[in-house]
Amino acid sequence: MRVVLAEDLFLLRDGLVRLLEAYGFEIAAAVESGPELTRALAELTPDVAVVDVRLPPTHTDEGLQCALAARRARPGLPVLVLSQHVEQLYARELLADGAGGIGYLLKDRVFDAEQFVDAVRRVAAGGTAMDPQVIQQLLDRSSAEDRPLGRLTPREREVLELMAQGRSNAGIAAQLVVTERAVAKHTSNIFGKLGLEVSDDDNRRVLAVLAYLDGGPR
Residue 217 pLDDT exceeds 50: no
Distance in angstroms (rounded) separating the CA atoms of residues 36 and 194: 43
Q: Which residues contact 111 (CB under 8 A, 6 or more apart)?
A: none
pLDDT band at 137 (very low <50, low <70, confident <90, very high): confident
Residue 96 pLDDT exceeds 80: no
Residue 4 pLDDT exceeds 90: yes
pLDDT digits (tens, 9 = 90+) for 8-32: 999 999 999 999 999 999 999 999 9
Distance in angstroms (rounded) separating the CA atoms of residues 120 and 11: 20
Question: What's the DSSP call for residue 153?
Answer: -
pLDDT digits (tens, 9 = 90+) for 166-208: 888 999 999 999 999 999 999 999 888 888 887 777 777 887 7
Rounded (5°) CA angle 29-126-163: 125
* Three-state DSSP state, 128: strand
Check the CA dihedral 87-92-93-98 and report its sign: positive
Predicted local distance difference test score (pLDDT) of residue 174: 94
